[in-house]
Amino acid sequence: MLHVYLLRHGQTRWNAEGNKYCGRTDIPLTPIGIQQAYRAQELLKELELEKVYASPLERARHTAEIAGNGKPVTTDPRLIEVDFGTWEGKTRAEFIAENPALWDAWNRDPATARAGGTGETALKVVRRVDDFFREALKRHGDEQQPKNILVAGHNGINRLYLAWKLGMHLKDYRRLVQENAAITLFSLDRNAELTLKMLNRK
């Protein structure tokens, strides 16, 4: 058994500017985003963490450094945000106006459609994220005394992974909320079956 405290990173400038799709673009937290990370730290301060992991992008790594209360952060490329292709740096309204067919294809079946036409499929995303968590389970899982890890990721990967593990159709991933620096808690049993215990706490 492993307990995972999953974070979305704190606010960035692009989140604040009409929620532009950041994807792989490496931009920092805003002052509000830093405050949000400290609020997460306050919620987690009594927790004994076995390990802190984060996406290699600055916004997630910085959030993990703060929320993990100074514990060393290990970055892992499997936790990087979805490659959104041509949608990067644009709001949903902007890129739908440019090419509505790409958004329609993603909405119908993101498992096989490439985000923004040139980015990742949702199936590729969930496979790499699941590979990370299965490895973490092998490394930290303990049936007798379950361990806690903190993982700072992104809106896209967090929701896609949760939807997939909960047996939802991947096209419904946006029905799961992951606000900036909010905490989601789930457990993984010895077979990597996920049980959702808390969603989007701030």
Number of H helices, E strands in the chain: 7, 6
81 φ, ψ to 5°? Answer: -65, 160
Catalytically active residues are 9, 81
CB 53, CB 151: distance < 8 Å: yes
Going from the C-alpha of 14 to that of each of 10, 29, 139, 173, the distances in angstroms are 11, 10, 35, 21
Enumerate the H helices of the chain as residue ranges.
Answer: 13-16, 31-44, 58-67, 92-98, 100-108, 122-140, 155-165
Amino acid 103 reads W
**Which candidate, 110, 56, 51, places its Cα nearest to that of 81?**
56
**Which candidate, 141, 189, 138, places its Cα nearest to that of 165?**
189
Number of Cβ within a 10 Å radius of residue 145: 6
